[in-house]
Amino acid sequence: MSDARGVLRLESLSRSYGPVKALDGVDLEVRAGEMITLVGPSGSGKSTILRLIAGLDRPDHGRVYVDGADVARVPPHRRSVAMVFQDYALFPHLTVRGNLLFGLRVRRVPRAEADRRARAAAERLGIADLLDRHPDQMSGGQRQRVALARALLREPSVYLLDEPLASLDAPLRFATRADLLTLHRELRTTTIHVTHDQQEAMTLGDRVVVLAAGRVRQVGPPQQVYDEPADTFVAGFLGSPPMNLVPGGGVLGGTPDETLGVRPEDLALAPEGPVAVTVEAVEALGSEAVLLTRCADGTRLTVRTGPRPGVGPGDPVRLRADRIHRFDTATGLRR
């Protein structure tokens, strides 16, 4: 049993809400100590997976194994999981101390021991000086740390983080992302992290799981999923701006039964390039520029270039495609 600590397995997990299939046969195995990012558009079933693992909801079919054991009949608090909710779900009438002690009091941990542990968790997350404040007297980032500290106190086998960075502003999100990674490296506890933010998906997590319409589309290390998307959905979802998907037999060549994909950064301005386009718009982003172009046959191609590309709307340019992905048009799967 101790070998299985931190191992999480989902077996053909399905859950419907009325006519809506939130999850449709999800299989996933997470290794001990691994950080997994679930990513997908809204309604893809990310949060449902977390709720099923936590025991806040029951699957229609399938099983959840935590630490190697089937937890179908185990109530939420007896499962070795801790969850950080999207809006943190801090108790507004309690101070930070009260929030941290909540679970310890419910579990009747002796007072001195509970205080010691709460303080240790608060110090670890740098909120020891906020112990007497109420949640409404704190910033979003501080609240997020309290929620993390509360999860930490459960000393679980698996952490479930439901979009923990979504409510933070951009600079804070960047800093907190790094903090989360550091914390995970220190704890080495299995973590399932849900996000709809692609940057988070790429930077946090040993592996990324791409979900759509309740199904797992692809699982793998972030760079691998980015480099070799399993189907046109993953290709279009990961990456910003998204991959250019062009019907075969068109400007990028290929056969009529395939769809060709090329990432904006894999298209380069080249005087001798095979693809002739007209620039329609230039989005200067400071560190880079994005060209929106159109071919003679109407196909639109997005190109990522360095800053100050030296072209403007209406200019004819030629492009070279460096890495072309091929997908079966009928199934959408990678060839």
Partner 1 sequence: MSRVRRPLTPWAFLAPYAAAVVLLVVLPAVLNVGYAFTDHTGLTRDPRFVGLANVRRLLADGFLLDSLRASLFHLALAVPVRLLAAVGLGLLLAAPRPGGRWFRTAVYLPTVIPDVALAVLFLWVLNPLYGPLNQLLRLVGHPGYTWLADPTTARLGVVLMLAFPIGEGFIVVLAARRMLDGRLYEAAALEGCGPFGQLRRITLPLLAPVLVLLAVRDTILTLQVNFVPAYVLTDGRPANATLYLPVYVFDQIFEFSGFAYGSTITILLTVVTAAVITGLLIMLRRWRVLR
Provide the binding-site residues for partner 1, judged by CB under 8 A. 54, 56, 75-78, 81-83, 85, 87, 89, 91-93, 102-103, 106-107, 134, 150, 154
Q: Using N-to-C axis directions, what is the helix angle for 111-124 and 96-106, rounded to 10°?
A: 130
The gap between the terminal CA atoms of the chain, to the nearest Å, is 41
Cα dist. 207→34, 210, 261, 332 in Å?
8, 10, 23, 22
Query: CB 175 → partner 1: shortest distance, Å?
Result: 25
Give 155's contacts (C-beta < 8 A, 6+ positions apart): none
Is the Cβ of residue 91 or residue 174 nearer to partner 1 in the bound state?
91
Cα torsion at 120, 130, 176, 285 (round to 10°)? -170
Is the Cβ of residue 36 or residue 100 nearer to partner 1 in the bound state?
100
Query: CB 81 → partner 1: shortest distance, Å?
Result: 8
The β-bridge partners of 161 are: 84, 193
**C-alpha–C-alpha distance, residues 57 and 328, integer Å:** 37
Is the Cβ of residue 31 or residue 107 nearer to partner 1 in the bound state?
107
Is the Cβ of residue 142 or residue 299 nearer to partner 1 in the bound state?
142
Query: CB 324 → partner 1: shortest distance, Å?
Result: 46
Is the Cβ of residue 89 or residue 324 nearer to partner 1 in the bound state?
89
Is the Cβ of residue 92 or residue 110 nearer to partner 1 in the bound state?
92
Query: CB 201 → partner 1: shortest distance, Å?
Result: 23
**C-alpha–C-alpha distance, residues 144 and 105, integer Å:** 21
Side chain identity at residue 319, one-letter code: L
Query: CB 190 → partner 1: shortest distance, Å?
Result: 16
- 65 touches 80 (CB < 8 A): no
Query: CB 84 → partner 1: shortest distance, Å?
Result: 9
Cα torsion at 74, 77, 82, 84 (round to 10°)? 120
